[in-house]
Amino acid sequence: MKKTFLTLIFFILISGYQLLSQCVADAGPDRVVCNENNGLVPLQIGGNPAAVSGTPPFTYTWEGRQVLTIGNLTFVTTASEILNDTTLANPTVVNNDLFNNFRLILTVTDANNNICKDTMDIYYSIFGINMSIFMFTINQGDSILLNWGSNVDGGMPPLQYLWRPNHGLRDSTHLNFWAKPQHTIKYFVTVTDTAGCTYEGPDYYMVSVNPVSTNETISTNDYMSVFPNPASEKINFQLTNLAQGKHVLSVYNTSGALVSSQPFLENMLVVDVKNLNSGFYSYQLSSEKGVALHGTFVVE
């Protein structure tokens, strides 16, 4: 009886050792690699840890092979071409594949030469752009529906859109949108796919805004006069008696970028424009109570 009991204990211990020595590889979940404006975003893969059980130390080997044939040409991509090191437990994807996805096989070998394998797939989120640009002309105060889609495609749908600059837009997140800019402007879009990958497109819409008037002197709500307009060297901004308190004048170019921002020290502010490119510019007059008014001027 005692011998049988010892035999049973020995069998359990041996079985437990064999169970603990079994090698289990974990290549991690399938992942998405983003290709954004600055190129591929490096992505570390593999389980945490990549080897479970077994007897350390472990050796790791990542393998994979894709073949693409176009006519008489054959292109082969291997794991060593897309990973920084195929012998690491957690290598990094650093290059693109010719395909939209690449299957990788992880082989783990433990100190007792037990071998285990696992697979995972890399998917590539790749965006494409076209260099089209749509140009429209409206009068100041008018609205326009911009509904020619986007110059960014690809990615993993569904896609989300964000139009910039956010000037004169009712909703900057729709593919097609209404715009009511107060000055000539260019709109561009940033697209985000379901994997969280983003891509910023080049300028797609250019809306030229004709000022309501380009007379020698423009009265804006009896609050401020702007002259001369058009201007070639200097332009004057003169506040009326209705303008009380401190004021700041900000000037923007057609892309919505801030060109200058200056405070009024008196009721007259002179802005030097001789170094500005010819075209339309917008200004915003701000007071202590907020934005007082908008307007445009032309540099010859």
**Pairing outcome for strands 205-210 and 185-192:** antiparallel
CATH, domain range 218-299? 2.60.40.3080
Residues 6+ apart with CB under 8 A from 67: 74, 75, 76
Amino acid code (one letter) for 7: T
Average pLDDT over residues 225-234: 90
- Burial of 117-150, coded b for 16+ CB within 10 Å and e otherwise, reads ebebebbbbbbebeeeeeeeebebeeebebeeeb
pLDDT above 60 (res 7): no
Same fold: 130-210 with 218-299: yes
Give, as one character, the DSSP assignment of residue 202: P
Quick one: how many helices (H) and strands (E) in the chain?
A: 2, 27
pLDDT digits (tens, 9 = 90+) for 174-218: 999 999 998 889 999 999 999 999 999 999 998 888 766 544 444
Q: What is the pLDDT, as a whole number, of residue 290?
A: 66
Q: What is the pLDDT, as a whole number, of residue 242?
A: 78
pLDDT above 90 (res 240): no
* Band of residue 221 on the pLDDT scale cut at 50, 70, 90: low
CATH class of 23-127: mainly beta
* Band of residue 61 on the pLDDT scale cut at 50, 70, 90: very high
Q: What is the pLDDT, as a whole number, of residue 57?
A: 96
Rounded to two decimals, what is the model's pTM?
Answer: 0.64
Name the residue ranges covered by the structural domains of the chain.
Answer: 23-127, 130-210, 218-299
Q: What is the pLDDT, as a whole number, of residue 19?
A: 43
pLDDT digits (tens, 9 = 90+) for 122-171: 999 999 998 888 888 888 888 888 988 999 999 999 999 999 999 999 89
**108: burial class by Cβ within 10 Å (0-12, 13-18, 19+)?**
buried
Q: What is the pLDDT, as a whole number, of residue 163?
A: 97
CATH, domain range 130-210? 2.60.40.10
pLDDT above 60 (res 15): no
Q: What is the pLDDT, as a whole number, of residue 21?
A: 60
